[in-house]
Amino acid sequence: MPHADDLYAFLSTTRSIRRISDKPVDNDTLQRILQAAVWAPSGGNRQPWRMIAVRDRDTKQRLSEMYSTEWAKYVDFNMKKLEGMPKEVVDQAAAGLAVGTRLAAGLADIPVVVLFVHDPSALYVTDGGFGRTPVVGGASLYPAVQNLLLAARAEGLGGVLTTLLSSREADVRELIGFPADWGLYAMVPLGHPVGNHGPLRRAPLEEMVKFDRWS
Ligand SMILES: Cc1cc2nc3c(=O)[nH]c(=O)nc-3n(C[C@H](O)[C@H](O)[C@H](O)COP(=O)(O)O)c2cc1C
């Protein structure tokens, strides 16, 4: 029987890894990580999603160009929000974003870039029509990404769930050739981390959970 402590150790240290070396990921390890993603649950067990593990350098380079454009917009958006803030705050935010800029520029050097695509027609959306963004459909999709990241962590590898590339879905579809009625919901660069996993920065449990009623 595996020990629960091991699982908690991985859960509490699986953070976004954006600094990834170009050291190759061996094929058996990659297969195990991809298998972990496939173990994720989905509504009705329909598994309305697929992964494309991109290893081809030219394809990764194209993804890098597209993702860099979207990341640059995200940086602008964040930096504008910080106008007028103390210099230390601005500098700290800029340094954090710069790690993302390097990730975007260096995607071609990262051993594997996993694209997650989904079939929207297979999602049973129970929170539509409420005048807000429906989120339940995503519950059949994102557990696979988290399984992949946790398995990568357990293998000593790391990656980051990214979604910015979804706004370039049509371009990525053309590049990869996934079906016209399918969508792109995540991109995970994967490899050996440069630096450490964890610890996580999260709100305390008391803030995040209530028992029996809201108040
Ligand atoms: C839905 C979602 C979308 C995200 N999109 C991106 C992204 O496009 N690019 C990126 O660098 N990080 C992205 N992240 C990573 C988050 O910024 C990161 O998980 C968060 O800041 C917490 O940091 P940690 O994972 O290191 O603990 C995303 C995370 C989630 C859950």
Mutate to test the pocket of ligand 1, among 66, 161, 172 (most ligand atoms within 8 A of CB): 161
Specify the pLDDT at position 195. Answer: 86
* DSSP structural state of residue 130: S
Q: How far is the CA of 164 from the centre of ligand 1 (A)?
A: 10
Specify the pLDDT at position 196. Answer: 84
Instruction: Please identify every stretch of the chain with a pLDDT value under 50, giving residue numbers as ranges.
Output: none
Tell me the per-residue pLDDT of 199-210, one tens digit each, with 9 for 90 and over: 899 999 999 999
Specify the pLDDT at position 127. Answer: 97
Tell me the C-alpha to C-alpha distance, in Å, between residue 134 and each of 46, 83, 126: 19, 32, 8
Helical H runs in 12-56?
27-38
| Record: fold of 14-194 | NADH Oxidase (3.40.109)
Which of 185, 165, 194 is CA-nearest to residue 72?
A: 165
Which of 95, 108, 23 is CA-nearest to residue 66?
A: 108
Tell me the per-residue pLDDT of 41-59, one tens digit each, with 9 for 90 and over: 999 999 999 999 999 999 9
74: which 2 tokens? 């995200």
Q: For ligand 1, what atom is nearest to the CA of residue 103?
A: 11
Q: How far is the CA of 1 from the centre of ligand 1 (A)?
A: 32
Q: How far is the CA of 96 from the centre of ligand 1 (A)?
A: 12
Sequence spans of domains, the chain: 14-194
Q: For ligand 1, what atom is nearest to the CA of residue 187?
A: 8
* Residue 104 identity (one-letter amino acid): A
- Give, using CA atoms, the residue closest to atom 29 of ligand 1: 161
Mutate to test the pocket of ligand 1, among 16, 149, 167 (most ligand atoms within 8 A of CB): 16
Specify the pLDDT at position 199. Answer: 87
Specify the pLDDT at position 121. Answer: 97
Specify the pLDDT at position 215. Answer: 87
Q: How far is the CA of 185 from the centre of ligand 1 (A)?
A: 13
Mutate to test the pocket of ligand 1, among 11, 13, 71, 162 (most ligand atoms within 8 A of CB): 162
Which of 164, 121, 163 is CA-nearest to residue 142?
A: 163
Task: Kindly report the pTM of this predicted structure.
Answer: 0.97
Q: For ligand 1, what atom is nearest to the CA of residue 165?
A: 8
Collapsed DSSP state (helix, strand, coil) of residue 215: coil
Ligand 1 contacts (CB < 6 A) are 15-16, 18, 100, 160-164, 200
